[in-house]
Amino acid sequence: MLIIIPSNLAFAKTNLSINATGSAVKTVQEKLLKLNYPIKKVTGFYDKDTYLAVKEFQRNNNLTVTGKVDDQTMSILKKSTKKLTPTSFSAKGTAILETGKKFFGTPYVFGGTTPKGFDCSGFVQYVFAQNSIKLPRTADLQYKVGTVTKNPQIGDLVFFSTYEKVPSHCGIYAGNNTFLHVSSKKGVRIDRLDDPYWKPLYLGARKVLP
């Protein structure tokens, strides 16, 4: 006898969120508990504690933070053997940001690479160099360094296409949806990623810290 499996079952995707129940939820909770995430007990019910633990796991593993378990989250969760934390990145990232802030108000100079005047990539390169991290000179080459991240943390690089459909401007993520960069008119400053000018030009972020 031929058994036909409906396509929606044959290719079912993981999609667990608050109030979900079942063995898949139990598996998630058991794994999170083993990794020392704040799961009080394994119940098979996707409660608020599970939701918050999943968000923390996603954040620590550089995943899109939704609090929902999709295929990617489930796959990485099953492969994880220890709890990752962003502490090392945060410490290095904070040092990067604090170095950059020392140059608030430094003017924009085309081709500038020193505290007398910076262009965008010259500023990024200089700040990272002060923290013993070498980066390429131009924004398009810096865009090829490191790994893509959808959830930038302090010290990650952010990129924009200001005059071409390629990375032509860059800055340093400063937390709370802001970034430190060199404005052509106002010099070194902090702006928001959701600023009406910058938002449509945003290309994405890359993690370059070792």
pLDDT at 11: 42
pLDDT at 37: 86
Q: What is the mean pLDDT of residues 21-39?
A: 92
Q: Which of 56, 121, 122, 169 is catalytic?
A: 169
Average pLDDT, the chain: 89
Please list the residue range(s) of the chain that carry CATH number 3.90.1720.10. 87-207
User: CATH for 87-207?
Assistant: 3.90.1720.10
Q: Which of 77, 120, 188, 193 is catalytic?
A: 120
- pTM beyond 0.75: no
pLDDT at 82: 76
Q: What is the mean pLDDT of residues 173-177?
A: 86
pLDDT at 36: 85
The Cα-based distances of 132 to 128, 142, 146, 179, 181 in angstroms read 6, 16, 16, 21, 19
Q: Which of 31, 68, 181, 207 is catalytic?
A: 181
pLDDT at 158: 98
Percentage with pLDDT > 90 across the chain: 70
pLDDT at 1: 46
pLDDT 10s digits, 92-144:
998 999 999 999 999 999 999 999 999 999 999 999 999 999 999 999 999 99
Q: What share of the chain is helix, strand, coil (3-state, %, to 5)?
A: 35, 20, 45
In 5-118, which residue ranges form alpha helices assigned H by DSSP?
7-10, 23-34, 48-60, 71-79, 87-101
Q: pLDDT confidence of 179, banded at 50, 70, 90? A: very high
Q: How many CA atoms lie within 13 A of 96 on its CB side?
A: 32
120 catalytically annotated: yes
User: CATH for 13-79?
Assistant: 1.10.101.10
The Cα-based distances of 25 to 30, 42, 142, 143, 164 in angstroms read 9, 9, 41, 38, 46
Please list the residue range(s) of the chain that carry CATH number 1.10.101.10. 13-79
pLDDT 10s digits, 133-174:
999 999 999 999 999 999 899 999 999 999 878 999 999 998
pLDDT at 3: 45
pLDDT 10s digits, 71-93:
999 998 998 887 766 554 578 99
Q: What is the mean pLDDT of residues 9-37?
A: 85
